[in-house]
Homo-oligomer: A and B are copies of this chain.
Amino acid sequence: QLISERFGKGSRTVDLELEAQIDVLRDTKRKYENILRLARALTNHFYSMVQTQRALGDTFSDLSQKSPELQDEFGYNAETQKLLCKNGETLLGAINFFVSSINTLVNKTMEDTLMTVKMYENARLEFDAYRADLEELNMGPRDAMTLSRIETAQQQFHIHKGKYERLRSDVTIKLKFLEENKVKVMHKQLLLFHNAISAYFAGNQQQLEQTIKQFNVKLKPPGVDKPSWLEEQ
């Protein structure tokens, strides 16, 4: 059947509305994968920056103690770098939570729906193949043997029609729930991302910590090296 369709022969059962929705999902997934890639890159660059700020803070501290003539200048720079480092750890927690949630949405939830879509597409192909068989037999001569073959073909046709329709319905339902879930997750995560980043880059430590609490972000204990378990969830 796939080959007939490739060569432009054979007819194809089409649910235009559903196929449009599936195309939109595939496109959305690609776009969110891009966000995920960029958010992970941001995490890495930001993580490296915070590590460098920590090292700078230590170096400035050391030089403040050992340079009487520039004690103040090294001193306030040390303070600033250390404060940025502390707030940076908190923001990292928020970005990790964002990455982890988008990752779940894209690679678990959307992927799950797309698996059902693939099963649906296979069922559609099989159904159209049995439909084409039946139509061909129906157009041929009728004798005892062909009648029995038509009966078998009809049974197969109904079995695969049922399977196709069940899967079409599964896909429709999953798409509907996915859309709701997507809007809910993205609304929350985009708000968290925005509020955490705004608070951090406004130097508002209190608001940053409040955002973390508000969104129930769990911070990993300091000293744990890489953003890891959050992404694995």
Contact = CB atoms under 8 A, between A and B. Distances in A.
A50 to B, nearest CB: 9
Interface string A126-145: 00000000000000000000
A54 to B, nearest CB: 10
A34 interface: yes
A74 interface: yes
29 contacts: A31-B59, A31-B62, A35-B56, A35-B59, A35-B60, A38-B55, A38-B56, A41-B48, A41-B52, A42-B49, A42-B53, A42-B56, A45-B49, A45-B52, A70-B186, A70-B190, A73-B186, A73-B191, A74-B190, A77-B190, A77-B194, A80-B194, A80-B197, A80-B198, A84-B197, A84-B201, A198-B203, A202-B202, A202-B203
A119 interface: no
Interface in A60-76: 60, 62-63, 66, 69-70, 73-74, 76
Interface residues of A, number: 41
Given A42-B56, A203-B203, 9 more contacts: A31-B63, A34-B59, A38-B52, A38-B55, A41-B52, A70-B183, A80-B194, A80-B201, A84-B201
Name the residue in A38, A70, A80, A193 with the highest tally of chain B Cβ atoms < 10 Å from its Cβ: A38
A112 to B, nearest CB: 21
- State the copy count for this chain: 2
A49 to B, nearest CB: 4
Contacts of A70: 183, 186-187, 190
A77 B197 CA distance: 9
Contacts of A77: 190, 193-194
B46 A49 contact: yes
A150 interface: no
A187 to B, nearest CB: 6
A55 B31 CA distance: 12
Q: Interface majority SS on A: helix, strand, loop or mixed?
A: helix
Given A70-B186, A84-B197, A42 B52 contact: yes
A145 B132 CA distance: 125
Listed from nearest, the 3 A-B pairs whose CB atoms lie closest are: A73-B190, A202-B203, A45-B49
